Amino acid sequence: MFDLQGFHEAKDVADAVQALTANPNAEIISGGTDVLIRVREGKDAGKVLVSIKNIEEIKGVKLLDNGDLFIGAGTCFTHLTNDPLVQKHIPMLGEAVDTVGGPQIRNMGTIGGNICNGATSADSAAGMQVLNAIVCLTGPNGERRVPISEFYTGPGKTVREQNEVCTGFLIKKEDYEGFSGKYIKYGKRKAMEIATLGCAVMVKLDKEKKHIEEVRLGYGVAAPTPIRCPKAEESLKGAACTDTERIENYVNIALTEVRPRSSWRASKEFRLQVISELAKRALKEAIVLQGGQINA
């Protein structure tokens, strides 16, 4: 049985904010794939749960008039993977969340919960980093928007206040248009596995598809929080897609920007090896997806 003090089914975002504000011991539940586990283990025992599961306004993916994409925080992984707008504009993110757990988890778990839990192993986290996603939070004082690069403050910690509801994520048109992307998850098995390491790369090539105009490199489980590697990204600007020396240099620079640790899943030394390999592999696959040529 779950040790709960109370349960409130919010009818809309304002109602959820009001319920959270009225009770400092309250926390949000949506899909419940993480929250209920914590409650069952006694970590969140005695909490009041405020459910945002049935708030339709925070579900789905929308293409805004200015070309930006808005992903509702209550969108489950299965819907995200199969959404036509995601498949057309940001398939990398859909592929990333399709590696989460099994079908049951993907049918219940939401993108909002995956990001707001603050876990560096979240499969959506590296992809949202390279998409420069903006986190939309609504609280008693209205809405505020936080760049994903400023959202995480430590392992399992974010800037979201207890009485704020994450309503969704904004991805600007210039952050996805003209890019191709690839997410690679490393784990000990292919399904039902928490990432030992996750790597996301986005690339924009020139018109001739021979040189790199921009590259973004993001990781999960390579540091206490999901991260980007800006120095490695800068090192590849203008590089030929076939320039193996520049690519090796980019990998070496990335290794100076990560901070992996040893855990029961993998040693620090092993993670560094995977970090270098995935940086190279994801980059090459992203280049090929955009029609570029690489040295095999």
Residue 182 and residue 285 in contact, taking contact as beta carbons nearer than 8 Å: yes
Q: What is the pLDDT along the chain (296 residues), one digit of tens a residue?
A: 567 788 999 999 999 999 999 999 999 999 888 887 787 777 777 788 999 999 999 999 999 999 999 999 999 999 999 999 999 999 999 999 999 988 888 989 999 999 999 999 999 999 999 999 999 999 999 999 999 999 999 999 999 999 999 999 999 999 999 999 999 999 877 767 788 999 999 999 999 999 999 999 999 999 999 999 999 999 999 999 999 999 999 999 999 999 999 988 889 999 999 999 999 999 999 999 999 988 75
* Assigned token pair, 240: 């030929």
Integer Cα distance of 274 and 268 in angstroms: 10
**Kind of pairing between the strands at 180-186 and 197-205:** antiparallel
Beta-bridge mates of residue 76: 110
Cα 174 to Cα 171: distance, rounded to the nearest angstrom: 8
Helix, strand, coil distribution of the chain in percent, nearest 5? 35, 25, 40
Quick one: 179-289 is in which CATH superfamily? Answer: CO dehydrogenase flavoprotein, C-terminal domain (3.30.390.50)
DSSP code for 133: -
pTM of the model as a whole: 0.93
Domain boundaries, the chain: 4-51, 59-174, 179-289
Q: Which fold has domain 4-51?
A: 3.30.43
Residue labelled with tokens 């690519």: 247
Cα separations in angstroms, 246 against 183, 210, 240, 241, 254: 21, 14, 8, 9, 12
Instruction: Please list the residues that pair with 170 across neighbouring strands.
Output: 70, 134
Query: Cα–chain-centroid distance for residue 243?
Result: 30
Write b or e for each residue in 96-118: b if 16 or more Cβ atoms lie within 10 A of its Cβ, otherwise e. Answer: bbbbbbeeebbebbbbbbbbbbb
Residue 135: both structure tokens together: 């986190």
CATH assignment, 59-174 = 3.30.465.10
Our CA angle for 187, 192, 197, nearest 5°, is 25
What is the radius of gyration, based on Cα positions, of the chain? Answer: 19
Helix ranges (H only) for the chain are 13-22, 35-40, 77-82, 84-89, 91-97, 103-108, 111-116, 125-130, 230-235, 244-257, 268-289
Q: Which residue is it, tokens 């207890």?
A: 162
